[in-house]
Chain A
Amino acid sequence: MAEMTYRGALRATLREALQQDERVFLMGEDIGAYGGAYGVTQGLMAEFGEKRVKDSPIAESVLVGCGVGAAMAGLRPVVEIMSINFSLLAFDQIVNVAAKLQYMSAGQINVPLVIRTVTGGGNMLAATHSQSLEGWFAHVPGLKVAAPATPADARGMLAAAIRDPNPVIIVEHSLLYPIKGEVPDGPHVTPLGKAKVVRAGKDVTIVSYLRMTLTALAAAEELAKEGIDAEVVDLRTLRPLDRETFVASARKTHRAVVVEEGWGTYGIGAEVASSIASAAFDELDAPVARVSGEDVPMPYNKELERAAIPDAARIVAAVKSLL
């Protein structure tokens, strides 16, 4: 075990993939000479050269489409979209092309493409730069969507994504990059599609993902002080969704709160809550509660932004409302 930042863990996996597999190359805006908008790819162009680490024009559609074509031809592109907000300019290539080729060619073609991007708010970047849009991608059959919350998962899930023969979108959270955690030594792969109980408890289940997993853990500590023992489930992968793990937890604790940073309306939490309600209705002692981002475009002002994003206090309140 070694201590690593989330950013460093991602970089370690990219480096390792570039070393191990000639077919792997990175492509994105400002990822080379500049080192990446969030510094994830720092130093990789110097180490691996411009064939393997490519600075692309600010043209998200061709950036993703170029990755799709290269993946079809047998390469293993890892494309960075600077922010999930910019992925909207590549929606056609992601949804109509990457997610469809395998199906519409009846398996003649597959697209082993990884898209890394940054989601979420908290940086006073206002409404166009603070959205959590991963649910839109998780809606689409043919895509996989992963959202690692810890350095260890970032390391292992990115490695799994690069090995995966399907298009995988990895959503990272900008506020997680400097966070440190224990990471197993050497290469390791964390399978996609497996949620994880990150805190065991018996009174209530809190289901969450990405940065909100850390917020949920903080809430669980608060609750523990009052004698409430919360279990926290980190979804880790949004598609394919591991319903079994969180349904089993809810069956055990008989209560569930679902937490997400993004908008609640048609949100990921709705999918999780309905899964729990339909699979474990008879075992629940209370309706499934939800905590989500306020249903507003993200305001710029720091206090307003803070109020729009769920925090531990809101999770604590939601848990208490069930008891």
Chain B
Amino acid sequence: MAMTRDEMGVDKATALGLYDVMVRIRSFEEKCAEMYGKAKIGGFLHLYIGEEAVAAGVIPLLEAQDTIVSHYREHGHAIARGLDSKRMMAELFGRATGTSKGKGGSMHIFDASKGFLGGYAIVGGMMPVATGLGLASNYLGTKSVCLCIFGDGAVNQGEFHESFNLASLWKLPVVFLLENNGFGMGTRVERVHAGKEMSHLGDAFQIPSEQVDGMDVLAVREVAARAIEHARSGKGPFFLEAVCYRFRGHSMADAMSYRDKAEEEVWRRRDPLPNFRRLLAERRAATEQELAAVEERAEREMADAAAFADASPNPPREAMYEHIYKE
């Protein structure tokens, strides 16, 4: 039986589109890991592998005028928003053709033309900025929503609380998306956070909040639609906690000695990619050929991205002095 819209909440084309986003993210990240191994990428490299269902569940629901501010684990968000994988990879390579002409790197991806207003590498630093983007939306009446993405580490920062308070007080159209992957670097959430459920923290500020299984792209999508609609309708912010897991270390420098192997095994069985693939096949939402085509296309795209990056020039020495001030 082919899947109907009612059974899964999305039509066939949309479902395949979600799979496509997740596959492209993973494919990009795996290519990054490979290129890091070849010393083509420097600095810190934080991979999003395992968390793809969160980006794919939320970001395609945004409209063109909406904005995103994210953290340093932002490649997946950028891919989901439709940034060019070639220019992103070139940025990671530090090349002149990169999204920031090689001056930002992996943690600082920007594409203002797509409302992708940055990866922020200081934990919590994007949250105050999101309130300002929300304020501007209300001030100018553009109805744009700001999606503010952060990790569980940011929840313990003062900026989290300051931003929640202001966003609720001034009814700012911000969707706060917490990607709770259970760890801040190598430290488990329970070791550094006194509360029980982070999603309850919205209550103190009268921000409607929901927790969702971040390994289930359809579940994320369903809640995200409500969150975005809430923010866009003028009712103020929404707090969405996606519970997920990162399969790789914090960054490429992480040996993952702190990981519980049994726990990791449980989460690996919940890997959003093979699971969603199986679901699509079972429900006959996509043929094996269609699924394989998505995967092959993604692999080719990311191979091309790496080739483009590798063939791109380094920025000239003078580029160092550009863009410090606007004339």
Asked if B139 and A51 make an inter-chain contact with CB atoms under 8 angstroms apart, the answer reads yes
Contacts of B100 in A (CB 8 A): 104-106, 108
Contacts of B108 in A (CB 8 A): 104-105
Q: Decide if B325 touches A59 in the complex (CB within 8 Å).
A: no
- The interface residues of chain B lying within 8 Å CB-to-CB of A54 are 170
Are A66 and B132 CB-contacts (below 8 A) given A73-B137, A101-B118?
A: yes
Q: By the criterion CB–CB under 8 Å, are B112 and A97 in contact?
A: no
B128, B158, B326: which contacts A66 (Cβ < 8 A)?
Answer: B128
CB distance from A248 to the nearest CB of B (A): 24
**Contact across chains for A65 and B118 when beta carbons are under 8 A apart:** no
- What 1/0 mask marks residues of chain B from 127 to 171 whose CB sits below 8 Å from any chain A CB? 111111111110110000010000000000011001101100110
Task: Name the distance in Å between B67's Cβ and chain A's nearest Cβ.
Answer: 8
A141 B324 Cβ-Cβ under 8 A: yes
Partner of B132, one of A59, A69, A109: A69
Q: Which residues of A contact B169 (CB under 8 A)?
A: 57
Contact B323 A102 (CB under 8 A): yes
B interface bracket (residues with beta carbon within 8 Å of A) = 35 or more
| Residue in A62, A64, A104, A108 whose Cβ sees the most chain B Cβ within 10 Å | A62
Residues of A contacting B325 in the complex (Cβ-Cβ under 8 angstroms): 102, 142, 144, 166
Of A70, A73, A92, A103, most B-chain CB atoms within 10 Å: A73
B326-A74 in contact (CB<8A): no
B111 sits at the interface (CB 8 A): yes
Which residue of the partner chain, among B103, B132, B134, contacts A106 with CB atoms under 8 Å? B103
What residues of B have a CB within 8 angstroms of the CB of A75 in the complex?
Answer: 135-136, 139-140
A69 contact from B136, B170, B322, B324, Cβ within 8 A: B136
In this complex, what residue of A is CB-closest to B139? A75
A59 to B162, CA, bound (A): 6
Given contacts A65-B132, A70-B132, A105-B104, contact A92 B118 (CB under 8 A): no
Residues of A within 8 A of B19 (CB): none
The answer to whether A109 touches B110 (Cβ under 8 A) is yes
Least distance between A28 CB and chain B CB atoms (Å): 13
Cα distance, A68 to B162, chains bound together (Å): 15
B118, B122, B132, B135: the one contacting A105 at CB < 8 Å is B118
Whether the Cβ atoms of B136 and A57 lie closer than 8 Å is: no
The count of A-to-B residue pairs whose CB atoms sit within 8 angstroms is 143
Residues 213-245 of A, flagged 1 when their CB comes within 8 A of B and 0 if not, give 000000000000000000000000000000000
| Chain B residues whose C-beta falls within 8 Å of the C-beta of A117 in the assembled complex | none
In the complex, whether B92 has a CB less than 8 A from a CB of chain A is no
A93: B residues at CB distance < 8 A:
125, 128-129
Q: Is there a chain B Cβ closer than 8 Å to A8's Cβ?
A: no
Known: A57-B165, A59-B165, A70-B139. A65 touches B323 (CB 8 A): no
Contact assessment for A68 and B129 in the assembled complex, using a CB-CB cutoff below 8 Å: yes
The CA-CA distance from A65 to B146 in the complex, in Å, is 14
* Cross-interface CB contact of B129 among A69, A74, A142, cutoff 8 Å: A69
Minimal beta-carbon separation of B278 from chain A (angstroms): 40
User: Among the listed B111, B118, B135, which residue makes an inter-chain contact with A104, where contact means beta carbons less than 8 Å apart?
Assistant: B118
A68 touches B132 (CB 8 A): yes
CB distance from B123 to the nearest CB of A (A): 10
B101 within 8 Å of A (CB atoms): yes
A160 contacts chain B at the CB level, 8 A cutoff: no
Judge whether B324 and A68 touch: CB under 8 Å.
no
Q: Using a CB-CB cutoff of 8 Å, which residues 63-102 of chain A contact chain B?
A: 63-75, 77, 89, 92-93, 96-97, 101-102
Complex Cα distance, B139 from A265, in Å, reads 44
26 A–B contacts, CB within 8 A, in A order: A57-B165, A59-B166, A62-B127, A62-B162, A64-B128, A65-B129, A65-B132, A68-B132, A69-B129, A69-B136, A72-B132, A73-B132, A75-B135, A75-B136, A77-B132, A92-B159, A93-B125, A102-B325, A104-B104, A105-B110, A105-B323, A106-B99, A106-B323, A109-B112, A141-B324, A165-B326
Chain A residues close to B by CB (< 8 Å):
25, 51, 54, 56-57, 59, 61-75, 77, 89, 92-93, 96-97, 101-110, 141-142, 144, 165-166
Write the residues of chain B forming the contact surface with A, with a CB cutoff of 8 angstroms. Answer: 67, 69, 99-101, 103-104, 108, 110-113, 117-118, 120, 122, 125, 127-137, 139-140, 146, 158-159, 162-163, 165-166, 169-170, 322-327
